[in-house]
Amino acid sequence: MTYESDFYGWTQEQAGLIRSGRFSDLDIANILEEIESMGRSEKRALDSRLTVLLAHLLKWHYQPGRRGKSWQLTIEVQRISFVDVLDDNPSLKPQLPAILSHAYAKARIEAAKETGLDKTTFPVDCPWDWSAILDDGFYPD
């Protein structure tokens, strides 16, 4: 089995080789790629949760007349999901400033797309700090 032709089979084969202690037979290059990919995936998950959360906070703030239970519940779920991903990957904490900057830039675009407001309506930099963003009781006026 090869990495390229049968990924699932390859993973099972590599696991079997590790279990049997046959380390010299491992496909190290592709194992390393998959491990690095898993790390990137966790970082993307954190970024994604934060992007959705920030976009909904922007929509909440800039379209008060459209606030509803759906937006509120999305904010709640994304807060929980963000914290879950971060709790599972505490080594991402030092990267939070960069993740916030990246997620907020995308959130501005998403908020503009979903509200019909011009992107320039929203501040260039995130207007909230971490304590507000993750505060279960915070909904910007």
pLDDT tens string 82-137? 999 999 999 999 999 999 999 999 999 999 999 999 999 999 999 999 999 999 99
Please report the pLDDT score of residue 85 as a whole number: 96
Please report the pLDDT score of residue 1 as a whole number: 72
| Domain assignment of residue 67, yes or no | yes
| Domain assignment of residue 5, yes or no | no
Number of domains comprising the chain: 1
| Domain assignment of residue 66, yes or no | yes
The mean pLDDT value of the chain amounts to: 96
Local confidence band at 2 (pLDDT 50, 70, 90 cut-offs): confident
| Domain assignment of residue 129, yes or no | yes
Is the distance from CB of 62 to CB of 111 less than 8 angstroms?
A: yes
For residue 95, the enclosing domain spans 41-133
Please report the pLDDT score of residue 71 as a whole number: 97
Please report the pLDDT score of residue 4 as a whole number: 87
Q: Which residues contact residue 26 at a Cβ distance below 8 angstroms, ignoring those fewer than 6 apart?
A: 14, 17, 18
CA atoms within 13 Å, Cβ hemisphere of 62: 21
Please report the pLDDT score of residue 24 as a whole number: 97
| Domain assignment of residue 27, yes or no | no
What pTM does this model have?
Answer: 0.87
